[in-house]
Amino acid sequence: MAKKQIQPAGVFAHHRAAVTTHYAVMPPEGILESRIPGIAGTTITVQTSRQMGAEFSQVMLDIQENGGMEQAWNDGKQAFYYVIAGHPEVEIGGEGHSLRPGSYAYAPAGTPTRLTNPNQEIARVIWLRKPYETVDGIAPPAPLVGHQEDVEKVNKHTQGRTWQHLLPDSDPAFDFAMNILSFEPGNYFPMIETHVMEHGLYMLEGQGMYLLQHDWHECWEGDFIYMAPYCPQFFYATGWSRASYLLYKNVNRDDF
């Protein structure tokens, strides 16, 4: 009779992931690799998509040397790129741009765009896609390329919590916002927010406790959180250093 096999520690699958009707918490270690035709030499992990109920998609690209989009990409959707690491290059409408950590780029809907990595170091890039919601009398926005360090930090509501608007905050041509929120240790929201906008949140640095619905979730660098419209939310920065996250939300449209 064979000896009884003893299962290793962790067999009961303790984890931090959570997927509900109103929110999802997606630690990177649990997201399996995906493949997208036309993108080579790249590890692709999908953080959120329409299958989750989101009206946008967000993907993490880890692009190896000479990897990336094999040709200009044009699926009719607008796109936003944010560089976490490395030095990739993006071509928007035939114009090339060299990027570095903290760089970002916006490509209007229908604009051929190609993201590649000519360097030996792996380039890690957040890629967000969303159909554009047109408005009569308002022209769509033009391409935009910038860097986080050049964007003003604005205090809102409380000291020790700053906003950086990577896309123009008051321009109605944009139907979504991409902001970086930063919290000094011990800082927090001035209220529990419950509003019409949906969110996609990527933790850039630090750690904290996030209240979603009635549940607290500890999150830190590399985690992704999806919040559906009207999901109650609250953040409290913990740890010894600043906590920052990149935040998507849909704005400037009367689709409610």
Q: What is the CATH number of the domain that holds 46?
A: 2.60.120.10
Q: Which of 19, 24, 17, 16 is nearest to 198 (CA)?
A: 24
Domains: count for the chain? 1
- The vertex-187 CA angle with 181 and 191, nearest 5°, equals 80
Q: Is residue 29 part of a domain?
A: yes
Q: Is residue 242 part of a domain?
A: yes
Q: Is residue 12 part of a domain?
A: no
Give residue 70's domain range.
Answer: 18-250
Neighbours of 157 (CB within 10 A): 9
Q: How many angstroms separate the CA atoms of 181 and 172, rounded?
A: 21
Q: Is residue 256 part of a domain?
A: no
Distance of CA 190 to the CA centre of its chain: 23
How many CA atoms does the CB half-sphere of 32 hold within 13 Å? Answer: 2
Q: Is residue 1 part of a domain?
A: no
Residue written as token pair 């979603």: 212
State the pairing for strand pair 215-220/207-212. Answer: antiparallel
Q: Is residue 9 part of a domain?
A: no
Q: Output the pTM of the full model.
A: 0.94
Token code pair at residue 20: 């509900």
Q: Is residue 4 part of a domain?
A: no
Residue written as token pair 């935040």: 247
Query: For 38-72, b where at least 16 C-beta lie within 10 A, e where not — what string?
Result: ebeebebbbbbeeeeebebbbbbbbbbeebbbeee
Q: Is residue 13 part of a domain?
A: no
- Along the 256 residues of the chain, how does pLDDT read in single tens digits? 456 676 666 666 778 999 999 999 999 999 999 999 999 999 999 999 999 999 999 999 999 999 999 999 999 999 999 999 999 999 999 999 999 999 999 999 999 999 999 999 999 999 999 999 999 999 999 999 999 999 999 987 778 899 999 999 889 999 999 999 999 999 999 999 999 999 999 999 999 999 999 999 999 999 999 999 999 999 999 999 999 999 999 999 987 7
Is the distance from CB of 192 to CB of 211 less than 8 angstroms? yes
Q: Which of 47, 86, 53, 46 is nearest to 67 (CA)?
A: 86
